[in-house]
Structure 1
Amino acid sequence: MTSLARKLPILLILTAAVIGAVFLRDKISFEALAEHRAALLAYRDAHFVLASLGFVAVYVAIVALSLPGATIATLTGGFLFGLFPGVLYNVIAATLGAAAVFLAARAGFGAAAAEKLQSSTGAAARLQAALRENQWSALLIMRLVPALPFFLANLIPAFLGIRLFPFALTTFLGIIPGTFVFTSIGAGLGEVFARGETPDLGVIFTAPVLLPLLGLAALSALPIVFKALRKEH
């Protein structure tokens, strides 16, 4: 029963993710935001504190349960609360949701997987050792470069035995640049709605946005490079 209780949270998350992918993909969408924008703005104006707390709680649930709609939630944060405090709400909520997935995965399967890797002698064990040795840089790079899906970036550190504090802090810091971009898009949605258009979310992959992110990732990788050079000498 103890083992089952530890596995239950991550099993519930995986179940919710599958159900969400099947039934909620069309409900948490840009079109839904456009349809309900007047009601959302009216509620925000009448109950700002409750709207703020409710938004953060919903965003945390979306990320923690790996439901579709995290990008729409980020846009909504900008649309409802502006660039600030919208970006702060978005970063806090995404970090809390990611930490919930991380803890559930580590409790369910991650601790056992990390122990097996540590006692093994293969490439996976070397990867685990390298990640632990350079965990701050590696985790920051994982967040700064939008190569891995957010859900996988929450699971992999749990299975490699990373501690919660470096995971949470690097998540918070690493998602700020990308979240800033999407929140700023959300802050301008009023004009997009007025024109009957859809926001261009591919902007994060354009050179003016992607190159600075890659530059930050390169800076984060410098400690790894310096350690490797010292070992060679």
Structure 2
Amino acid sequence: MSKTTETSKSGLSRHLPLIAVVSVALIGAITLKDHLTFDTLRDNREALMAFRDQNYLGLAAIFAGVYILIVVFSLPGAAVASVTGGFLFGLFSGTALNVVSATIGASGIFLAARWGLGEMLTAKLESAEGRIQMLKNALRQNEVEVLLLLRLVPAVPFFVANLLPALVGVRFGNFLWTTALGIIPGAIVFTWIGVGVGEVFDRGEDPDLSLLWEPHVIGPILGLCVLATMPIIVKTLRPKKES
């Protein structure tokens, strides 16, 4: 009886990180959706700029911490946070803060899933045979390319791109550097919007995030996607050597 109880407790504790992420995400989606908005940024922009001028590093640390929490718990307001980075810190520093914070947050989701549900699924994948084994091998052969595509294609939800790799057992090192590299193009666009957001607010308007889908912006990103898929295409078309 005691062994059964200990086993159930151990199983529950192993899933606690993922349970915590999902729980906070649900609570945050309900309670914060009306607060992490451009209206909030507009109403508090003068106070934020004054604090930045007095304590630049302190505000940068606070901003990074908030951004990481938004990503880890998939809270509403990631786009607002990215624009705020450009508004407060400029294009270069804002992009760097956005990329570093988003990468750390994405790693938090990855590790929470890996330590919880991911461990069990990874073990099953390792022992699987047949088609599952073939799928796992195919993923590993193109791991870097697929991870980059998940980051470069804006249509893929960020939370999915963080969770899915953990559940299929990709290497954390590859996840980390492809995340940091792959989100740079999108981060530059959102940060650039933030650089001019003050003038947008002065006109009584909201930032136009549809800029990401403009041909001159999405075109280069899709070009990078094509480059990322080229190794997969080459491997597929390359004739197999006879043993």
TM-score, normalisation: structure 1: 0.96
Establish whether residue 131 from structure 1 lines up as the match of residue 139 from structure 2.
yes
Distance 2:144 2:33 in 1: 34
After the TM superposition, which of the residue ranges 211-220 and 109-118 deviates more from structure 2? 109-118
Look up the match of 2:57: 49
1:89 Cα deviation (Å)?
Answer: 0.2
Helix, strand or coil: the match of 2:67?
A: helix
Is the alpha carbon distance of 1:75 and 1:231 closer, same or farther for their aligned partners in structure 2, counting shifts above 3 Å?
same
Q: 1:226 pairs with 220, 234, 241, which one?
A: 234
1:127 Cα deviation (Å)?
Answer: 3.3
1:27 Cα deviation (Å)?
Answer: 0.6
Distance 2:166 2:79 in 1: 23
Establish whether residue 107 from structure 1 lines up as the match of residue 137 from structure 2.
no
Establish whether residue 67 from structure 1 lines up as the match of residue 83 from structure 2.
no
Look up the match of 2:210: 202
Is the alpha carbon distance of 1:201 and 1:116 closer, same or farther for their aligned partners in structure 2, counting shifts above 3 Å?
same
> How does 1:179-218 map onto structure 2 within 5 Å?
179-218=187-226
Render the CA deviation track for 1:54-113: whole Å, top value 9, x for unaligned.
110110111011111111100110000010100000000000000000000011111211
Helix, strand or coil: the match of 2:94?
A: helix
Render the CA deviation track for 1:190-228: whole Å, top value 9, x for unaligned.
100111101110111121111111110110111111111
1:119 Cα deviation (Å)?
Answer: 3.1
Look up the match of 1:143: 151
1:3 Cα deviation (Å)?
Answer: 2.9
1:114 Cα deviation (Å)?
Answer: 2.1
Distance 1:110 1:205 in 2: 34
Structure 2 spans left out of the alignment, 5+ residues:
1-8
Distance 1:208 1:114 in 2: 40
Helix, strand or coil: the match of 2:205?
A: coil
Look up the match of 2:106: 98
Distance 1:124 1:41 in 2: 53
Bigger Rg, which one: 2
Distance 1:128 1:211 in 2: 31
In angstroms, what is the RMSD of aligned CA positions? 1.4
Distance 1:201 1:207 in 2: 14
1:122 Cα deviation (Å)?
Answer: 6.2
Look up the match of 1:30: 38
Distance 1:25 1:151 in 2: 17
Distance 1:34 1:122 in 2: 56
Structure 1 spans left out of the alignment, 5+ residues:
none
1:128 Cα deviation (Å)?
Answer: 2.7
Look up the match of 1:172: 180
Helix, strand or coil: the match of 1:82?
A: helix
Q: 1:8 pairs with 16, 27, 33, which one?
A: 16
